[in-house]
Amino acid sequence: MPVELPVEPMLAKAVPTVPTAAPGGGGLLYEPKWDGFRGIVAFDGETVEIGSRGGKPLTRYFPELTAALASALPGPCVLDGEVVVPTGGAGGQRLDWDALTQRIHPAESRIRKLAAETPASFVAFDLLATADRSLLDTPFGERRAALESFLADAQAPLFLTRVTDDAARAEAWLAEFEGAGLDGVVAKPVDEPYRPGKRTMLKVKHHRTADVIATGYRIHTSGHGVGSLLVSLYTADGRLAQVGGVSAFTQRMRDALVEELADVVQRDEHGEPVTGEGERSRFSSGRDTSFVVLRPERVLEVRYDQMEGDRFRHTVQFERWRPDREARSCTYEQLEVPHDYDLAQVLA
């Protein structure tokens, strides 16, 4: 290929609102922000390899996708895009993050089973090279035109992401497409070359706040202070359900939180802190998931972007303590639920 592989993906920095101009001046093109695994697809004319954002190969986890792309791509190329898993029936399709993450599994038999049950798709949004030409130094506006021409006949599971130069339309996408499982909008300077590893794109994600209850904490890996807080909400039937975690504290705050939460640590008959065992997943294998149990009394406000089922999709950020709130008042009813939107309409 005319570019050296693996290529490190170009990245985006967060901005609070949809921008109307590039930081240094110039125009922008806007795209939906896909909620999947970033993937660099390299096709040499015979075989397909998929590299991840961190440089690790994803190829073995998506055998159905690599086979389909080898047939669907019109020629050798290097594409930047997103591996996603759509689920749901006609008129109610959406991106399924949980189904996607289940594909990262050591057993080939498990991967093959999931590939048949929940096949993946690839949404392309940049063309980095063709058989005899590198486009890394080409402005994005020209790369986008080349991508549209190259994938003019693309068919599922290969998709070309939609694009607009209208900031108002991008604002509408930010609101509408969340219902299909997307998590924001990306703005790309039309005059910029492809800059591997550099944050030259801009991203706008959903940010909301919720009042939640601190129900546990894990000790930081250093052995000192609070590494993460476990937070919960009350369900409609009065059950306390864990909804996620809060982390990324400074060392000063990690130490302060131990004192802050000392009076609500649940203790046994000997005065020792009660510990619980956290939920395990394929990502926590071998890790200590135990935590100190807290009485459900302390309320805090957190920032979050979106929900995945009945839990926060990502780790949430601490905003402030809410001593004015009663823990029992912290329920799922406060959470903003986006209107449903059919993923097929976004992919069309």
Q: Which residues are catalytic?
A: 33
What is the rounded distance in angstroms from the CA atom of residue 82 to the CA atom of residue 6?
16
CA 287 remoteness from chain centre = 22
Encode 84-98 in three state secondary structure: ECEECCCCCCEECHH
Please, are residues 244 and 311 in contact by the beta-carbon 8 Å criterion?
A: yes
As given in the structure block, the two tokens for residue 252 are: 């000063």
Please, are residues 205 and 173 in contact by the beta-carbon 8 Å criterion?
A: no
Please, are residues 95 and 36 in contact by the beta-carbon 8 Å criterion?
A: yes
As given in the structure block, the two tokens for residue 340 are: 């449903």
CA-nearest of 136, 126, 191 to 160 is 126
Q: Examine residue 23 and say whether the peptide bond preceding it is cis (omega within 30 degrees of 0).
A: no
What is the rounded distance in angstroms from the CA atom of residue 185 to the CA atom of residue 203?
6
Burial of 318 (0-12, 13-18, 19+ CB in 10 A): middle
Helices (H) and strands (E) in the chain, counts: 7, 21
